[in-house]
Amino acid sequence: MPAILLVIDNPKDWPLNIEGVDVISSRKYLTDPAYSLTRGAKVFNLCRSYRYQNLGYYVSLLAQARGHKVLPDISTIQDMKFTEIVRGAGEEMEELIQSVLEKEPHGEPFVLSVYFGQNVESQYNRLALALFNAFPAPFLRAQFRHDGDKWLLESVKTIAASEIPQDHFLDVLNFATHYFVRPHKAPRRQEARYTMGILHDKEESKTPSNEKAIKKFIKAADSMGIEAEILSKDDYGRLAELDALFIRDTTSVNHYTFRFSRRAAAEGLVVIDDPESIVRCSNKVYLAELLNCQRIATPPTLILHRDNWESGPAILGLPLVLKQPDSSFSLGVIKVKDQAEYEREMERLFKVSDLIIGQAFVPTGYDWRIGVLDREPLFACKYYMAENHWQIYDNSKKGDDALGEFETWPIDAVPPDVLKCGIRVANLIGDGLYGVDIKEVNGKAYVIEINDNPNIDAGVEDKILGDEIYLRVMRTFLKRLESRGR
């Protein structure tokens, strides 16, 4: 039985023939026992309606129950019903919307048809792909209106095959064939049991794994029967085809990485970093409260707001460190030397967030990072401060000049209090992959922060374990994939 199924109310509404794709009725998919037994099928639901408890709804619902990869899934169907979610998606792609539609007349609504992430007019393809990524479904119709100032995304709906204009069918055939066949992708190896996407932006300078490490992850996955490939932020709509997602981009809640993680988790993929870990680790206010409630030693810390910020220097002393809650790679982390600088920076930071982290400045020559995976230590590094700077990263410099030196340590050589603290703190977050930053002062461990996507770079974190560090990560994925199957 073909692995690709087009499910439609009436197959006569789909006059296109695509090699390797089986077109069946929704009733047959729901009632024929053979489809319940099919493993690994990709289901494209082209029913007329996905209204609650009708045939189209049940096709997506039962596809997920059968372990099939389905577009659209129930989450997408529900998302399109909520004005707030559609409006939020429009806000995220606002710059793209204005750019693509800037020459369209403002008087009438603008309607865009999206077929497998493309439009029959190529000038709209960037916007079509963004809509497909936000609402992964084979056929979409988006409506925009101009409010006198800018274009707004008003609604997104699925459309049935029977609603496609006849003069679009040749284009739709081309789009569908390209989507299903993917001539740019090498055929899947016979021995590959699972598929994995590694989300990684090659153009971004500060990613948690360098290119050599990414290749080693792919090789390690391959050795375990996991076919891994690199995903870009434009591959959101492909998550339904995969079994696992490994995020090797810098994560944030207000970022495409979180959408990928959330969607992957909803699809039932094994995912690292999981959305809950991203939410918890990407906000330093949450971490400060968590560490305080768990009585974990940290440098003296205050959550600053408009009612208490003036007392910050008196309590923490000067100089002190201010942290924007969602900062990463030392960005949004400032050391202020005096009262005037403190007041100036607080005024600026309050424009970004209502809560700011203030922390006593504890100078050390290095920070420990304890890498933890699946509640067990994975690596340990000492990261030294950048030359003539108080942080590991000096964002005023570029390349290697921006980084301090490092030492990678065997796990059993790490000071016991530092190692124990790192494991304990990571386990407060979850069972994913974490990096716990710790300052060691007079033999005592003080936690600075917890990262949900710690660096694993070839030539740095793998200095002790070598290729074994990549194998350990992939063994964790394999264990969870096999457990999910049971």
Domain boundaries, the chain: 4-77, 80-181, 194-278, 300-360, 366-485
What is the pLDDT averaged over residues 69-90? 86
Whether 123 shows a pLDDT value over 70: the answer reads yes
Task: Give the pLDDT band (50/70/90) at residue 180.
Answer: confident
Task: Give the pLDDT band (50/70/90) at residue 420.
Answer: very high
Task: Give the pLDDT band (50/70/90) at residue 88.
Answer: confident
Tell me which fold the domain 300-360 belongs to. Dna Ligase; domain 1 (3.30.1490)
Do the domains 4-77 and 300-360 sit in the same CATH topology, yes or no?
A: no
Task: Give the pLDDT band (50/70/90) at residue 100.
Answer: very high
pLDDT in the model for residue 191: 64
The CATH number for 80-181, chosen from 3.40.50, 1.10.10, 3.30.470, 2.60.40, is 3.30.470
Mean pLDDT of the chain: 90
The answer to which of 219-228, 303-312, 325-334 has the lowest mean pLDDT is: 325-334
What is the pLDDT averaged over residues 80-97? 89
Whether 315 shows a pLDDT value over 80: the answer reads yes
pLDDT in tens, 451-466: 999 999 999 999 999 9
* Bridge partner list, 226: 194
Whether 329 shows a pLDDT value over 60: the answer reads no
The answer to which of 212-226, 234-248, 266-280, 327-341 has the lowest mean pLDDT is: 327-341
pLDDT in the model for residue 309: 96
pLDDT in the model for residue 317: 96
Tell me which fold the domain 4-77 belongs to. Oxidized Rhodanese; domain 1 (3.40.250)
pLDDT in the model for residue 328: 64
* Bridge partner list, 320: 336, 360
The CATH number for 366-485, chosen from 3.90.1150.10, 1.10.3720.10, 3.30.470.20, 3.40.50.2300, is 3.30.470.20
pLDDT in the model for residue 229: 95
Residue 252 vs residue 128, higher pLDDT:
128
Whether 401 shows a pLDDT value over 80: the answer reads no
Whether 28 shows a pLDDT value over 80: the answer reads yes
CB atoms within 10 A of CB 112: 21
pLDDT in the model for residue 295: 94
pLDDT in the model for residue 2: 44
What is the pLDDT averaged over residues 293-307? 94
What is the pLDDT averaged over residues 68-80? 86
The CATH number for 194-278, chosen from 2.60.120.260, 3.40.50.20, 3.40.50.620, 3.40.109.10, is 3.40.50.20
